[in-house]
Structure 1
């Protein structure tokens, strides 16, 4: 130790000599310290260590280390102290020589070359030095653990020569960067295979530092290597688990969820993954709790497949039934609910091997050791299927840590699969109910040519209560209905069914559209009170349970369409020339939420005009209803409806395809109705005086008109109907009477009078002399009824054109 302060100590560690360098370093004068114990000059913590250090000096003939000496002014001075023997301990002669050097501003005490060489050679960290050509000039013994042979065999070789499995080009690129810039690179992580473990991927943390000579010229690169494979694998597992949490269960689709599980596990965990589920699970059925009793009772079907060889290839065997030999590990895992692992699976003949099944993807390539894991898919105490993981080729076999990761993967996916199964069951039930409650086919009628398209939502949260209906009415008229119940799933479908039945009942009463909506409003309010007694009433005392509805009645004789809306989207009218218009219509409040009374408007439709009624799902692809631009929505619909199409069905389907995806976020209904006009020669109308003598003349006119229409076989029945209806009007009403005959799909007979009182059907006794008129009419016709107008009522009947019904 050059430039060191010298202090002499006797056998009792008493100061016997104090040099000028010691006085300069510690501030104490010679006269003040000679004869004092050395412990009095040390800071308390080091003074307490002095007996131990003295014993070590006696045992090892010296000691080197750091001591904190109290300066004369009181502050500590940390010095590097080296104590060596001074000779025999004669009386009064010094026993020890202590050399002290200030550590302030120095990296530490100077070591001999031998000490440094021994430190580098015996370090547990791999150390190597390469020259400016990146050829090895020195390496320690620890580096041999990473392969490449002993250190003397490395001399003169480059990294790629001794470790062909590493990405030598990338590592040498880092070394060249350090040589060029002089900036060290620390904790550079490299992943690859080394010669010592060719089947195992390892991770190393490497640090690179440039070595310069005294003139600052680079001599080479000094680098260290630490095996961080365990840390790397732990980080990879955490990353895979994070990916599993993000990517598995993004949809409520069983097959998609199974495929997401397979996609996440390849290639991070396995080279090939298959997911086989019970057929009941794929169909959304109920599964018995606990392990599966056996494959015969519950067959497996391939739900997902992913291979690292060709990720873009079509999944092999997906959808096929998977069979395994009796006693095979997959069946054991399925029936017991426990995982199975084979760390090294050599496929001897006659036993189950990794990837082997009769209808699946086929055996894996037999290139090197094989390894397999089978993990049962279990959720909420129920076994849903199995997931099988394979490794092959030069990949290292599975270990217990891999099995734990696979079980974590499958456990996360199992909950999503079970949720998807339950969703599938509920959605299928809601969809079946919805489809059964919707019209199976549109009724035949002459007023309008009608086409409808219903597209269910992709998600259960979107599958709601959208419905439509086409209802033939008296007088050759037709009612068009489109509605949407607030809510989703089975409850919404059931509510829709009740509303549709109510609309059909109200339509049979021949009520005006605004009155139909008023009755529906009362029905929705009563249903809300029955289903949810705790629902708070609205301001006018009515509980809120919303639904929307658009009700339209078209009369082909007059060419008039009467519409009323209860919170529903406005219809569109496509003129015969292709132009699209959106008529102004009072929207009215939604059903069950209260508000002003419903209003109706009348539209005159030219023959060939198309009336488009739809639910809000038709335009939902552009975003939530609350954020959409109504004008922009109408413009989109306008552009689609303006496109020509030969058939109305094609036009309806093309419009839905253009506006919504194949699996929309909300239910979609589009109802297109092309207006027809009843030919003038198929309708006659006569004004009649209120005179009983008129009845005979009416019978003659009716007979002649039926003869012109070729309906002579209906003459007798129709004369009877006309006589009875006109006689009742003359007897019970006042003012003029009007008779109208319409030949449509049926023969319609209508008698109008100004009286608001309607007759009712009686069942007379055998002794009664009257009251049989309407009873006879009901027996001779298909249908009859009464509808009210603003200035009176109309009693109507319908007869089949095929002939009399009696």
Structure 2
């Protein structure tokens, strides 16, 4: 079996009390026999003394005896397994130990100790098999005594550091491998010695002398060795290199972390930063992520790798270092990154292939053309020594590149590291591309939203207005709810809130059509119930033209069938408010004292559904009252709620005090609507104002042509009181023309009214039902030029009908110079 250093027998593996001794002379002849030897082999002393000891062993081992004695002379002893021949002819396995025994004359003698192994199991296998198991095993094996000093180790243990077996004898682990975590390993040995319970699968992570730049992982198992009386003799342990397995687990764990942390949002720069954060420090010491500027804008890059003639505008989207504040980076997040032509990053972008350099030239200049400390940075200054560059590609499109550097860790990047980096980047690339697509769709949706909803509320003085919109579709930010504020003639304002069934782009497109139609109808100065009636006819007509059954939900949404709308007219001159609703919640009114009430408004049918005519109600509002218009999403909670409970919740929110109407509007939304509502929500709040008596002047005029001159003089005096003398000429012209037409063509009373608001408004009321028409007279015509002059000298003019007749009005700007 070889020497005890080589064969696996502990120096204290024999108990002399149990061993059968015999003596040999220098030539291997038996010179002394004992009763124990006779008990083991059954030979009496008369048959053994004087014989060659080789004759006591089997044929295979008999030839090895001279070699073993020669080893004893060189090494002072030997121990191992031999097959002896019993007197009855059978073969038995013995543990044999040979050691030198010197007499007083100095002649060499050998003491041989024989231990029976007949009680041990498994010793019937051949010695050759056992030798192969120990000598050829790739697993390191060692035995330490109770003081944790090496008494034996096999040759395979040398690969784990510490030198050959002969150098280990009598030393402890810390003596032969100073860099290893000997304290924890010996703690495991002491635990096994004290408890007798083996430890299997203990993993040790660290660096060994055989691979000082490479982190290694070893699996160790410890078993206590006991003597025949059960007393501990030492510890038998094995060591197996599991570095590849350990690194594979690390890579899988890193990929698992990447799957959990990369792409948690649809923000491009956040996704790029998540990629850098996941890779540090698990894979690299510094990671930078550079994306094409078109990608950051949500644009569509060219498919495949970039062409040689294409410029490469990159921007730093993310970076992370094991060092705080990333001192190695010469470009901050958000800055433009410029790489010289032909540099590795540019080549990777052009070819869409990864690149790895195990050892960078320390004096080579960093690729970025940015200055570092006033000079071009070199890798030695940045402390970077190994690099990998992986292009960010998704769906056949190159989006940018990710660069991995090693700085503190001395081991260079290996091919396995590059494979891991490519897996990480490929996962992140899909997330970046999804974020890019989301950004593009989001930007398109926001453009659509800005075109469909008021970009900013129009300027007017009748109401102090605030609006909030919260869509259910988080991706596009669009829905079917809308609001609008429409300035009308006579300083009046129309407030509109409506909703279209469904969410997203289809609902938004249908909403846009309705909003456009409402603004067109509002320009006709129709009362609320007539506006809704015309809107209902329009929706029904569109449904008939587009075909499909009204019960089809998608078709109904596209045709706006089932939409709701509330239309409110407010006149700041007298505080009168008129409103009508089509399948929509009634508005609420918050009085100046903070009390909230709900308007008792008759509910008309949804638009396009057919039903009874729409009805309107009129109420007077004191100055400082707040009109509250909202869609039903404001109260929707995903379950069935009674109407009274809905209104109670809204009333409580409306009665909460707020310093400004904007704050009041946001407070109501935050109190009633979650961050991600399941239905679109639109809320419009308008605090009323009244025009003062000093802003309105009116006069009753007789139906006499002579009254025209008096009307001009009266209007001129009023303008002087208002300090608007520069508008006197145009106002006289307008008053003269409008009053003359009323006297000539209308019947009944005539009334002239001037309103000084954001514009100077001139109104003439008469009892006629015929609206005047603007025409272009020929040069030979004697008349017909009055309204043409009015249209040219004023900002706008028009006619609106009231129950008693009609009002012809014209507006002049108070800020723009008169024509």
After TM superposition, give the deviation of residue 677 of structure 1 in Å.
0.8
Partner of 1:677: 690
Report the more deviating stretch, 598-607 or 280-289: 598-607
What RMSD over aligned residues (CA atoms) do the two structures have, in Å?
4.9
Partner of 1:479: 494
- CA deviation string 1:536-584 (max 9, x = no partner): 4328998333555443221112313334455667655443344555556
For residues 219 and 96 of structure 1, what CA distance do their matches in structure 2 show?
32
For residues 431 and 122 of structure 1, what CA distance do their matches in structure 2 show?
72
Matches for 1:158-237 after TM superposition, within 5 Å: 158-160=172-174, 162-237=176-251
After TM superposition, give the deviation of residue 607 of structure 1 in Å.
0.9
TM-score w.r.t. length of structure 2: 0.71
For residues 86 and 213 of structure 1, what CA distance do their matches in structure 2 show?
26
| Counterpart contact for 1:725–1:795, Cα < 8 Å | no
Q: How many residues align?
A: 698
| Counterpart contact for 2:483–2:496, Cα < 8 Å | yes
Partner of 2:526: 511
After TM superposition, give the deviation of residue 676 of structure 1 in Å.
0.9
Q: Residue 405 of structure 1: which of 413, 420, 423 is its match?
A: 420
Partner of 2:621: 605
| Counterpart contact for 1:345–1:371, Cα < 8 Å | yes
Partner of 2:807: 795
Report the more deviating stretch, 557-566 or 308-317: 308-317
| Counterpart contact for 1:376–1:387, Cα < 8 Å | yes
CA shift in 2, pair 1:534/1:779, >3 Å: closer
Residue 543 of structure 1: SS of its match in structure 2?
helix
Residue 544 of structure 1: SS of its match in structure 2?
helix
CA shift in 2, pair 1:270/1:578, >3 Å: same
For residues 604 and 192 of structure 1, what CA distance do their matches in structure 2 show?
84
Partner of 2:388: 373
For residues 554 and 612 of structure 2, what CA distance do their matches in structure 1 show?
14
5+ long unaligned stretches in structure 1:
1-57, 63-81, 88-93, 100-104, 731-735
TM-score w.r.t. length of structure 1: 0.72
- CA deviation string 1:309-353 (max 9, x = no partner): 338999852122222233211111111222111123342x3x455
| Counterpart contact for 2:635–2:646, Cα < 8 Å | no
| Counterpart contact for 1:580–1:642, Cα < 8 Å | no
Residue 557 of structure 2: SS of its match in structure 1?
coil
CA shift in 2, pair 1:698/1:369, >3 Å: closer
After TM superposition, give the deviation of residue 173 of structure 1 in Å.
4.7
| Counterpart contact for 2:742–2:766, Cα < 8 Å | no
Partner of 2:10: none
| 1:561 and 2:554 are equivalent in the alignment | no
| Counterpart contact for 1:254–1:420, Cα < 8 Å | yes
Matches for 1:715-730 after TM superposition, within 5 Å: 715-730=732-747
After TM superposition, give the deviation of residue 674 of structure 1 in Å.
2.5
CA shift in 2, pair 1:61/1:204, >3 Å: closer
For residues 777 and 355 of structure 2, what CA distance do their matches in structure 1 show?
86
For residues 434 and 554 of structure 2, what CA distance do their matches in structure 1 show?
40
- CA deviation string 1:261-288 (max 9, x = no partner): 2222222222211111122212222322
For residues 561 and 476 of structure 1, what CA distance do their matches in structure 2 show?
13
After TM superposition, give the deviation of residue 773 of structure 1 in Å.
7.5
Report the more deviating stretch, 558-567 or 630-639: 630-639
Q: Residue 761 of structure 1: which of 763, 773, 798 is its match?
A: 773
| Counterpart contact for 1:550–1:564, Cα < 8 Å | yes
5+ long unaligned stretches in structure 2:
1-57, 63-81, 94-118
Q: Residue 260 of structure 1: which of 270, 274, 278 is its match?
A: 274
For residues 366 and 393 of structure 1, what CA distance do their matches in structure 2 show?
13
| Counterpart contact for 1:302–1:360, Cα < 8 Å | no
Residue 285 of structure 1: SS of its match in structure 2?
coil
Q: Residue 575 of structure 1: which of 591, 597, 618 is its match?
A: 591
Matches for 1:431-580 after TM superposition, within 5 Å: 431-439=446-454, 441-451=456-466, 459-464=474-479, 467-483=482-498, 494-523=509-538, 536-538=549-551, 543-545=556-558, 546=560, 549-565=565-581, 573-580=589-596
For residues 197 and 321 of structure 2, what CA distance do their matches in structure 1 show?
43
Matches for 1:411-422 after TM superposition, within 5 Å: 411-422=426-437
For residues 224 and 641 of structure 2, what CA distance do their matches in structure 1 show?
62
Q: Residue 335 of structure 2: which of 300, 320, 329 is its match?
A: 320
Matches for 1:617-636 after TM superposition, within 5 Å: 630=646, 634=650
After TM superposition, give the deviation of residue 305 of structure 1 in Å.
0.8
For residues 287 and 369 of structure 1, what CA distance do their matches in structure 2 show?
31
| Counterpart contact for 1:538–1:593, Cα < 8 Å | no
Partner of 2:350: 335
CA shift in 2, pair 1:412/1:466, >3 Å: same
For residues 158 and 653 of structure 1, what CA distance do their matches in structure 2 show?
74
| Counterpart contact for 2:337–2:368, Cα < 8 Å | no
After TM superposition, give the deviation of residue 793 of structure 1 in Å.
3.9
| Counterpart contact for 1:617–1:668, Cα < 8 Å | yes
Partner of 2:161: 147
Partner of 1:644: 659
After TM superposition, give the deviation of residue 797 of structure 1 in Å.
0.9
Partner of 2:717: 707
